[in-house]
Homo-oligomer: A and B are copies of this chain.
Amino acid sequence: MDRYAFGVDVGGTTVKMGFFTAEGELLGKWEIPTDISEYGVHIIPDIAQEIREKLAASGLSSEDVIGVGLGVPGPVDADGNILHCVNLGWGTFNLEAAMTRATGIPCKAGNDADVAALGEIYKGSASKYRTVVLLTLGTGVGGGIIIDGRILPGTFGAAGEIGHMNMKEDETDFCGCGHQGCLEQYASASGIVRMARLNMARTDVDTVLRQCKSVTSKDIFDAARDGDEFSRDLVEEVCKTLGLACARISTVVDPEAYIFGGGMSKAGNIITNTVEKYYNRYAFHIGAKFLLAKLGNDAGIWGAVKLVFDSF
């Protein structure tokens, strides 16, 4: 009997769903809006409904499904407990048990950045590696740590919260987490825009960015590529911060490779090359590879289904 699996990536705006064979072939993928109203109480029933409909349309039942893998934007511990997930309105409960109750199918859940990292190891740019750190440079900086092919969840589900590594003790601005000096205040897509604004306000140096109505991280990387000195300096500064953060990470877990994903990583090799340059300045032992993520928005569903294959 053929068997199947679902890989589900729950974001703050959309839920990405993938339907796979037991051999890991992607049969179909689609999205639904994330309904975060009423503290996210509809999210699990909505996903369960999609699964039921997909199975009915395929003439299958829940017994034909190995499991449902879930990536969510918050800390998940090794037992499947979600420990507050502000983006979805969720508090603390056992996510795996709740999804299994809703679908009658075994469920394995993980933090979205961890799950995306697993996806990149399974089918993406890290497929040659077993121990990697993924950094997603988006609105924040997400981090996923894979040790010997498995997600490291951490005691409080907070392993890989690299975006909140303190990089600057005397920072006066606050991070969304309430601390000051977090990596994502400098090195996310929002962070680099924040830095550009600060540097423009602080000086009267000439830069094409002053002509942008609302500067984006793409504007900054484009301008740097076109020779705008202000933007080039800023890219160097941000990549230096990332290189220093990676050097610190390596003194802890010493991975084979760092993978950069998220919107800002679309700037391409300028990021990996510049981060590696500064990494080599700060690292105790050089040798880790610096790569761009390959799966883009699909990393989550691939990693989520890999969770299923690794768990059931």
Interface of A toward B, CB cutoff 8 Å: 75, 131, 143, 145, 147, 152-166, 169, 177, 179, 182, 244, 247-256, 282, 284-285, 287-288
Contacts and interface: CB of A to CB of B under 8 A. Distances in A.
Given A158-B251, A179-B282, 8 more contacts: A143-B252, A156-B285, A156-B287, A158-B285, A160-B254, A161-B250, A248-B252, A249-B252
A310 to B, nearest CB: 15
B282 A159 contact: no
18 contacts: A145-B253, A147-B152, A152-B253, A154-B254, A155-B256, A155-B287, A160-B252, A161-B250, A161-B284, A162-B252, A163-B251, A164-B251, A164-B284, A166-B244, A177-B284, A252-B252, A252-B253, A253-B253
Contact of A179 (B155, B250, B252, B284): B284
* Max count, chain B CB within 10 A of own CB: residue among A143, A164, A247: A164
Contacts of A248: 165-166, 248, 252
Given A152-B253, A253-B252, A255-B155, A169 B285 contact: no
A120 B104 CA distance: 43
Contacts of A254: 152-161
A146 to B, nearest CB: 12
A143 to B, nearest CB: 7
Contacts of A182: 284
A45 to B, nearest CB: 29
Nearest to A165: B251
A277 to B, nearest CB: 15
Nearest to A155: B256
Given A155-B131, A254-B154, A161 B285 contact: yes
A145 B161 CA distance: 17
A48 to B, nearest CB: 30
